[in-house]
Structure 1
Amino acid sequence: MRAATTHRVILGIGGGIAAYKICEVASSLAKIGVDVVPVMTAGAQEFVTPLSLATLCRHPAYTDRDFWAATHSRPLHIDLGESADLLVIAPLTANTLGKLAHGLADNLLTNTVLASTCPVLLVPAMNTDMWQQHSVQRNWQQLLADPRYHAIAPGAGRLACDRVGQGRLAEPQEILAVIDSLLLTRGQRDLAGKHLLISAGSTQEYLDPVRFIGNPSTGKMGVALAQAAAHRGAAVTLVHGPMAVEHRQALTGVQQIAVTTAAEMQQALVAQLPQADWIIMAAAVADVRPRDRAPQKLPKAALPDQLPLAPVPDIAAHLASLKKDHQRLIGFAAQTGEIESPARQKLQRKGLDAIVANPIDRANSGFGSDSNQAILLGRSGQRHEVPACAKRHLAHQIYDFVNALGDR
């Protein structure tokens, strides 16, 4: 008997060489306490053994042999379907895709899908020519029109057949990120039809080509916000400062605009503002810049003893002066010590609709951390405290909070 707080994920594995990647997904989920139940098609067993999946999942791997065996008190597909919080099919083959699109069920996996009501995550992988077939694309689009189905489209690259093109299975970390969001939101797409404009990372204000004023922000919170919004159905534009390649690669389907300075960030955000419904200012923008910028590296002896500084634009306040009545502007306040009072002042002073006050002087919070904690404040006095959690979990709670503010 699983604990009431444990999520159960039915992990359906189709027949394809990409099945080996699912071993990492299965192991990662099991390690964080998710109840992972592998269900393998006959084709999948040609690439990965049931014993391998059972060992990684800490749970028996079910096959069609179990489906047809009279060893269960209730039909196996009914038990699996009714107990699932999420069903993931990866790799999704053209064969299984066609069956699902037409409501067909001739094996344990497809019968379990029809016997369940939970969200289903589809992660296809196949040869480029197979993926581009009209019939395959028709089936794909038909399933995507059903709100129950969520998907990670195949990526492009070198395939097992040596073809270079679209058809690669999504990487395990991307699959895990979407699974995480779907378990948190139960598959809701409450941001569908909205366009979110998000800023992330630090800005850098240069003294010369190699020296700058900046801060330790890595952009992880902004990446989490962009992922969570996309997983909830939003169109997302992320304007970000210098950021690690792995963070940028984690943003499939998100429009990215790279900038360096505060002035460049303001220009990009103002340009994107008209199409945005919500603007989330998660970037740690520099407060000042060197008054003068040298075109060449200054010799050490030429560095000034006192550095003349000039203010940078207050981007959040400027956006507040430009936004329309239907738009919501949410700021961030990275603070040390007592965080709530300064955040409330910033909320009012800058004309924000809500603000996220988060400490940067506590363990496992703030810049560079994978986790965060915050106090969420609304303009009309709303308040919600979020204890330490993964940054993507905080992002979802921020969206829940903003949704609860109601329409303007």
Structure 2
Amino acid sequence: MSGDRNSVISPPPSSRPGRVLIGITGGIAAYKVCEIVSTLAKSGVEVRSILTSGAREFIAPLTISTLSRHPAYTDADFWSPTRGRPLHIELGEWADLFAIAPLTANTLAKLATGMADNLLTNTVLASRCPLLLAPAMNTDMWEQPTTQRNWREILGDPRVWGLEPGSGILACDRVGSGRMAEPAQLLSWIDSLLYTGGRRDLQGKRVLISAGGTREHLDPVRFIGNPATGKMGIALAQAAVSRGAEVTLVCAAIAPHLLTTLGGVRAIAVTTAAQMQQVMLDEFETADLTIMSAAVADVKPASYSPEKLPKRSLPEAIALEPVPDIVAELGKRKQPHQTLVGFAAQTGDIVTPALDKLRRKQLDAIVANPIDKSGAGFGSDTNWAVAIDSQERQQKIEPCSKLELAHRLFDFLSLNTVGIHT
């Protein structure tokens, strides 16, 4: 791609809060939607909602209308003779994203066959925006061949995104699959689909991401590590899967609750740099795009005690030895069709050391981000960065959520590197 070295690439316009239509059907998981509606409304997203007659048996329209700051629609509104323009047409054209949660087996069957016998199903047919579905039902109902056939059928529609139910204790006391995706996961998908508009620009691509901070143990309870939480890597995985990619996340020392936001991502847990190196090398050969966002230790104790060392036995000085340089090894093995991206977490001048790393490690791009600024770096929910491609052109990504930064990085890569969209 043409361009002057060290030139600044203009970023795309900032994303703005969008318009989300929430459909609620008759399942006990309807209570979880309250958190979703409230969170969206507080963030500035415009929220409208439709409750089926079954949903009203579980949650009151007044609850949803109060949380969304807007009336909640029911079939009584659909059949009202006092309206001018048809309500399902207005709502279908208004929405940037349509999410149905929980999705019952009954409504799933209607969607799969194109039925339209209430406000919700009519609005689905009258809309063209991305449709996000989150089923919830008893295990036997979910596993029925007819339900699975309907699920496969609706997922064949290119506008449809589906979050398969998880496993756990259900309201019927059954332990098995059928739990609706948790609110945090649904919110992440909503944010992503609002950003992309439902683009599947990574469809058919295999994306490999490392996340978290490795730990090098002196004994079973003491280790050399760093403050990395894996939030940036998780955001990258969320963004990639929402764009249609097949994603593998190699994660080190990530709190389990953070992983609950992921859906459709294959996660492999590791602890040490050596373990991460082995998994990354094993997975790298089939990856189209690899992003090394993990904070990997630079050194490890030269010796390891399999039993906890008494305090009196701790050495006054710990002998250290280097650990594998994973991204450098990946750079040596990279094939022409592959794209390799590194991260450089820095204090002070973040660009100069990132450029050095970009050159030395044969990267296609690097993301320089500060760890000494408020609202950025380890553990924060927000971040900012400077993305640099192999021709050393730079784009500053202003402070934003880590999920938005992940999407902006993928936009940057699609415009300025080779291999991921060809």
Same fold at TM > 0.5 = yes
Q: Is the aligned partner of 1:376 residue 2:356?
A: no
CA distance in 1, matches of 2:60, 2:156: 34
CA deviations on 1:301-321 (whole Å, 9 max, x unpaired) are 443333322111111010111
Cα distance between partner residues in 2 of 1:25 and 1:58: 13
**Deviations, residues 72-118 of structure 1 (Å, cap 9, x unaligned):** 33111111111100001111112211221122211111111111110
Q: 1:121 aligns with which of 126, 129, 132?
A: 132
The alignment partner of 2:233 has SS state of helix
CA distance in 1, matches of 2:16, 2:223: 48
8 A contact 2:365–2:417 mirrored in 1: no
Q: For the residues of structure 2 that align with 1:65 and 1:209, how far apart are their CA atoms?
A: 63
Residue from 281, 285, 292 that aligns with 1:281: 292
Inter-partner Cα distance in structure 2 for 1:71 and 1:141? 39
| Counterpart code for 2:355 | R
What's the offset of the Cα at 1:206? 1.8
TM-superposed deviation, 1:247: 1.7
In structure 1, give the amino acid aligned to 2:77.
D
- Helix, strand or coil at the partner of 2:385: strand
* Counterpart Cα distance in 2 of 1:164 and 1:368: 34
Given that 2:104 and 2:135 are in contact with CA atoms closer than 8 Å, whether structure 1 keeps it comes out as yes
1:330 is displaced (CA, Å) by 0.3
Q: Match of 2:278, SS? A: helix
Alignment of 1:177-188 (within 5 A): 177-188=188-199
In 2, the alpha carbon distance for the partners of 1:264 and 1:58 equals: 50
- Whether 2:409 is the aligned partner of 1:398: answer yes
Q: Tell me if the contact between 2:170 and 2:178 (Cα under 8 Å) persists in the aligned partners.
A: yes
TM-score for both structures, normalised by structure 1 = 0.96
For each residue in 1:6-55, what CA deviation from the matched residue of structure 2 results, as whole angstroms up to 9, or x when unmatched? 41111111011111111111111111111110111111111111111111
In 1: Cα distance, 2:222 partner to 2:40 partner: 43
Residues 6, 204 of structure 1: CA spacing in aligned structure 2 closer, same or farther, 3 A cutoff? closer
- Given residue 93 of structure 1, which amino acid in structure 2 is its aligned partner? T
* TM-aligned CA distance change 1:147 to 1:137, over 3 Å: same
Among 239, 245, 258, the alignment partner of 1:247 is: 258
Distance change (3 Å), C-alpha of 1:307 and 1:22: same
Q: Does 1:295 align with 2:313?
A: no
Q: 2:333 aligns with which of 315, 322, 325?
A: 322
Cα offsets for 1:229-281 (capped at 9, x unmatched): 11111111111111111123333332222111111111111111111111100
- Per the alignment, residue 244 of structure 2 pairs with 233
Question: 1:357 is matched with which residue: 360, 365, 368?
Answer: 368
| Corresponding residue SS for 1:196 | strand
Offset at 1:177? Answer: 0.9
Amino acid at match of 2:108: L
Gaps of 5+ in 1: none
Q: What whole-Å deviation, never above 9, does each CA across 1:334-358 have from its counterpart, x for those lacking one?
A: 0000111111111011100000000
Whole-Å Cα distance in 2 between the matches of residues 63 and 249 of structure 1? 32
Q: Are the counterparts in 1 of residues 386 and 396 from structure 2 also a CA contact under 8 Å?
A: yes
1:158 corresponding residue in structure 2: 169
What amino acid maps onto 1:41 in structure 2?
A: T
Q: Distance in 2 between matches of 1:322 and 1:63?
A: 58
Deviates more, 1:19-28 or 1:246-255: 246-255
By how many angstroms is 1:188 displaced?
1.0
Matching of residues 215-226 of structure 1 within 5 Å: 215-226=226-237
Partner of 1:84: 95
Give the letter for the 1:371 counterpart.
Answer: T
- Partner secondary structure for residue 191 of structure 2: helix
CA shift at 1:405, angstroms? 2.5
- Structure-1 residue corresponding to 2:349: 338
Which range moves more in the overlay, 242-251 or 295-304? Answer: 295-304
Per-residue deviation at 1:171?
1.0
Compute the TM-score of the two structures, normalised by the length of structure 2: 0.93
**Correspondent of 1:14 among 13, 25, 29:** 25
In the alignment, the residues of structure 2 paired with residue 84 and residue 114 of structure 1 have an alpha-carbon distance, to the nearest angstrom, of 13
Cα pair distance change 1:5/1:352, threshold 3 Å: closer
Provide the identity percentage: 60
CA distance in 2, matches of 1:73, 1:5: 30
Q: What is the CA–CA distance in structure 2 between the aligned matches of 1:304 and 1:336, rounded to whole Å? A: 31
Secondary structure in 2 aligned to 1:270? helix
Q: Give, in angstroms, the shift of residue 293 of structure 1.
A: 2.3
In structure 1, what is the equivalent of residue 219 of structure 2? Answer: 208
- Counterpart residue identity of residue 239, structure 2: A
State whether structure 2 residue 406 is matched by structure 1 residue 385. Answer: no
Distance in 1 of aligned mates of 2:52 and 2:283: 46
Q: What's the RMSD between the two structures over aligned residues?
A: 1.5
Looking at structure 2, the residues matched to 132 and 204 of structure 1 have their Cα atoms a distance apart, in angstroms, of: 41
| Runs of 5+ unmatched residues, structure 2 | 1-14
Q: How many residues align?
A: 405
Q: Secondary structure at the match of 1:39?
A: strand
Q: In structure 2, what is the Cα distance between the partners aligned to 1:53 and 1:302? A: 61
The match for 2:141 is 130
Which one has more relative contact order, counting CA pairs under 8 Å at least 6 apart? 2
In the alignment, residue 320 of structure 2 is paired with which amino acid? Answer: L
**Equivalent residue letter for 2:364:** D
Listed one character per residue, the Cα deviations across residues 111-140 of structure 1 (whole Å, up to 9, x for unaligned) are: 111111100001111122222222221111
Aligned to 1:103: 114
Q: Does 1:142 align with 2:150?
A: no
- Bigger shift: 87-96 or 248-257? 248-257
